[in-house]
Chains A and B, each alone.
Chain A
Amino acid sequence: MALIRDLGFQAMQMLLVFLLAPLLTGLVRKMKARLLRRQGPPLLQPYRDLIRLLRKEVVLAENASWLFRVIPYIVFAGTWVAASLVPTFRGGLLFSWSADLIAIIALLGSARFFLALAGLDVGTSFGGIGSSREVMIATLAEPAMLMIVFTLALVAGSTQLTTIASYMLSSGVGLRVSLGLALIALIMVAIAENARIPIDNPATHLELTMVHEAMVLEYSGRHLALIDLSSELKLLLYISVIGCLFVPWGLAVPPASLQGIAIGIGAYVTKLALGGFLLAAFETSIAKMRVFRVPAFLGAALMLGLLATLLLFVSRSL
Chain B
Amino acid sequence: MVLFVLACVLALLIVAALAVALGGRPRSGNFVYGASLIITLALCASALFSLISASTPSPVVLPLGLPWLGAHFRIDALAAFFLIVVNLGGAAASLFALGYGHHEESPLRVLPFYPAYLAGMNLVVVADDAFSFLVSWEFMSLTSWALVIAHHREHENLRAGYVYLLMASFGTLALLLAFGLLAGADGNYAFEAIRASRPTASIAALVLILVLLGAGSKAGVVPLHAWLPLAHPAAPSHVSALMSGVMTKVAVYGFVRIALDLIGPPVWWWSMLVLVIGGITAVMGVLYALMQHDLKRLLAYHTVENIGIIYIGLGLALAFKAYAMDFAAALALTAALLHVFNHSIFKSLLFFGAGAVLGATGERDMEHLGGLIHRMPQTAFVFLVGCVAISALPPLNGFVSEWLTFQAILLSPQLPAWGLKFLIPAVGALLALSAALAAACFVKAFGVSFLGRPRTPAAANAQETDIESRIAMFFLAALCLLAGILPGLFIDALAPVSTALIAASMPHQVGIEWLTIVPIAESRSSYNGLLVFFFVAASGWIAAFAIHRLASHQLRRAPAWDCGYPDARPETQYTASSFAQPIRRVYGMSLFRAREIGAMPPPGAMGPARLTVELRDLIWDYGYAPVASFVGFASERLNVLQFLTIRRYLTLVFALLVFLLLVLAIWP
Contacts and interface: CB of A to CB of B under 8 A. Distances in A.
A160 to B, nearest CB: 6
Contact of B560 (A98, A124, A291): A124
Contacts of B10: none
B568 to A, nearest CB: 10
B451 A121 contact: yes
Contacts of A119: 447
Contacts of A109: 391, 393, 436, 439
B371 A306 contact: no
A177 to B, nearest CB: 15
A67 B451 contact: yes
Contacts of A127: 562, 574
Interface string B5-40: 000000000000000000000000000000000000
Contact of B554 (A57, A65, A131, A205): A57
A217 B528 CA distance: 35
Interface string A102-137: 110011011011001101111111111101110110
Nearest to A136: B582
A300 interface: no
B532 A103 contact: yes
Given A73-B543, A132-B579, A147-B432, A117 B447 contact: yes
Contacts of A56: 552
Contacts of B573: 123-125, 128
Interface in B386-442: 388, 391-394, 399, 403, 406-407, 409-410, 412-413, 421-422, 424-426, 428-429, 432-433, 435-437, 439-440, 442
A138 B436 contact: yes
Contacts of A102: 403, 406, 525
A77 interface: yes
Contacts of A124: 560-562, 566, 572-573
Interface in A47-80: 54-63, 65-67, 73-74, 76-78, 80
Contact of A125 (B421, B522, B562, B586): B562
B269 to A, nearest CB: 17
A223 B562 CA distance: 16
B439 A113 contact: yes
- A-side interface mostly: helix
Contacts, number: 280
Given A57-B554, A160-B526, A129 B447 contact: no
Contact of B443 (A131, A147, A312): A131
B642 interface: no
A135 B453 contact: no
Nearest to A219: B561
A135 B563 contact: no
Contacts of A239: none
Given A54-B551, A63-B560, A226-B547, 12 more contacts: A65-B451, A74-B540, A77-B539, A97-B522, A106-B403, A125-B567, A131-B579, A132-B580, A135-B583, A139-B437, A139-B586, A163-B524
Interface of B: 370-371, 373-374, 377, 380, 384, 388, 391-394, 399, 403, 406-407, 409-410, 412-413, 421-422, 424-426, 428-429, 432-433, 435-437, 439-440, 442-444, 446-448, 451-453, 514, 516, 522-528, 531-532, 535-541, 543-544, 547, 551-552, 554-563, 566-567, 570, 572-574, 578-583, 585-586
Interface of A: 54-63, 65-67, 73-74, 76-78, 80-81, 95, 97-100, 102-103, 106-107, 109-110, 112-113, 116-117, 119-129, 131-133, 135-136, 138-143, 146-147, 150, 153-154, 157-160, 163, 205-206, 217-218, 220-222, 226, 291-292, 295, 302, 305-306, 309-310, 312-314, 316
21 contacts: A65-B373, A67-B380, A73-B543, A78-B536, A100-B526, A110-B388, A120-B574, A120-B579, A122-B452, A122-B562, A124-B562, A124-B566, A132-B582, A136-B586, A138-B439, A138-B440, A157-B524, A159-B410, A159-B524, A309-B428, A310-B425
